[in-house]
Structure 1
Amino acid sequence: MDTKLEDFKLRFAEINDAPLILELIRELADYEKMAHEVVATEEVLIESLFERKMAEVVIGEYKNAPVAFALFFHNFSTFLGRPGIYLEDLYVKPDMRGKGIGKMMLAFLAKLALERNCGRLEWWCLDWNEPSIQFYKQLGAVPMAEWTVYRVHDEALAELAVKFDG
């Protein structure tokens, strides 16, 4: 898809993009100082993204070279009674930052949210990532200061699941 940025296009990822998606995920994790947490594989991405269709990926290309990605999925607001788009990851390669690529990708997701009759577009941001926080605020995003994210994973997830079966 053409964008308003010269030489920058967006496209939905295809199954043969699994190695590229994993490479970009690893770059993002390295930036976020979380590389040790990446356990995803190409096979897992193929199953989750293209076979089970649990999430979608948009690839940003500058002069036909991949420079960014956004991975997102639908959630649901019971209060709105409508779906939303949850942006799990947005990554722009460091040498391509400051060119409007991140803004264009978020604008595309906002447009997609409206086309899909979604009530909102939302994401998390690490507290220390001040450049991103300022960028998001300039776009009109507001932090949800009254909410705390909770997570159950690894052994705690297994232990909780066992409680269902007794």
Structure 2
Amino acid sequence: MSDLHVRLATVEDTPLILQFIKELADYEELLSEVTATEAILRKTLFEDHKAEVIIGEVDEQPVAFALFFSNFSTFVGKPGLYLEDLYVKPEFRGAGFGKQLLAYLANLAVTRDYGRFEWWCLDWNTSSIEFYKRMGAKPMDGWTVYRVDGDALTDLAAKNVL
């Protein structure tokens, strides 16, 4: 198998990015939750610059992607890199491409003088959990993720008394 070439995505990659998102969602059994469209991604990623994407290619064929953005740690006093999604097509897994994507992002975080590199992983995804641990990642025990979305988000926003 050939080497992986990693590059930053461009606006022309928008259909590919949506395809990768849907493949990942299908793998996670969450495809019905995908509401992203090419138009939304184009605006959010390439006009508003709210997140970035890298594409991994083998022989110019896209085989992997990662979507990430900056967050901020008040304790460290620096931004961090938050990995939202990492996906390698099933037929290309086990070749070290996930490790290469993580290393690329870690290098980006170091280059940008970020203090952390973080992500979430589904509890049932034991193969990914073990992979991340082998890369030096530590699970953050004692923390619970909370989310407000949909009607609950709208309702909470309506409570704003400013």
Q: Deviations over 1:98-143 (max 9, x none)?
A: 0000000000000000000001100000000000000000111000
Indicate the residue corresponding to 1:8 in structure 2: 4
Indicate the residue corresponding to 2:160 in structure 1: 164
Indicate the residue corresponding to 1:17 in structure 2: 13
SS class of match (1:121): strand
Q: Structure 2 counterpart of 1:147, which letter?
A: W
Indicate the residue corresponding to 1:68 in structure 2: 64
SS class of match (1:44): helix
Report how many aligned residue pairs link the two structures.
Answer: 162
In the alignment, the residues of structure 2 paired with residue 7 and residue 124 of structure 1 have an alpha-carbon distance, to the nearest angstrom, of: 27
SS class of match (1:164): coil
Q: Deviations over 1:56-111 (max 9, x none)?
A: 00000011100000000000000000000000000000000000000000000000
Indicate the residue corresponding to 1:39 in structure 2: 35
Q: Structure 1 counterpart of 2:116, which letter?
A: R
Q: Structure 2 counterpart of 1:160, which letter?
A: L
- Residue 7 of structure 1, CA deviation: 2.8
Q: Structure 2 counterpart of 1:111, which letter?
A: N
* Large movers: runs of 4+ above 2 Å: none
Q: Return the match for 2:144 from 128, 145, 148.
A: 148
- Residue 145 of structure 1, CA deviation: 1.1
SS class of match (2:81): strand
- Residue 165 of structure 1, CA deviation: 4.3
- Residue 45 of structure 1, CA deviation: 0.1
Q: Return the match for 2:73 from 77, 97, 100.
A: 77
Indicate the residue corresponding to 1:137 in structure 2: 133
Percent identity over paired residues: 60
> TM-score w.r.t. structure 2 length?
0.98
SS class of match (2:160): helix
SS class of match (2:26): helix
Q: Structure 1 counterpart of 2:74, which letter?
A: T
Q: Structure 2 counterpart of 1:90, which letter?
A: L
Q: Structure 1 counterpart of 2:64, which letter?
A: A
Gapped regions of structure 2 (runs ≥ 5):
none
Q: Structure 2 counterpart of 1:140, which letter?
A: G
Gapped regions of structure 1 (runs ≥ 5):
none
- Residue 162 of structure 1, CA deviation: 0.6
In the alignment, the residues of structure 2 paired with residue 60 and residue 39 of structure 1 have an alpha-carbon distance, to the nearest angstrom, of: 24
